[in-house]
Amino acid sequence: MNEQELRKRLELLRVEHRDLDAAITALTTTGAGDQLQLARLKKRKLAIRDQIVLIEDYLVPDIIA
């Protein structure tokens, strides 16, 4: 993947992460969601966060001065 594709993927992952956060919040505030569903959403959210961090690290490499 080139840098432009990575940036587009990063933006899509960020949107999905926000959407999952909103869904988790909605389920917990209404009390309608079961614990298994919440656990799956949280696990997916963490996996997406890991992907976001990985892409960000690739796009902005550490420079030791």
Q: Which pLDDT score, from 0 to 100, does residue 65 have? A: 58
Q: 44-60: per-residue pLDDT in tens? A: 999 999 999 999 999 98
Query: What does pLDDT average to over the chain?
Result: 92
With pLDDT > 90 as the criterion, what percentage of the chain qualifies?
Answer: 74
Q: 1-25: per-residue pLDDT in tens? A: 799 999 999 999 999 999 999 999 9
**DSSP string for residues in 4-63:** HHHHHHHHHHHHHHHHHHHHHHHHHHH--S-HHHHHHHHHHHHHHHHHHHHHHHHHS---
- Count of C-beta atoms within a 10 Å radius of residue 34: 9
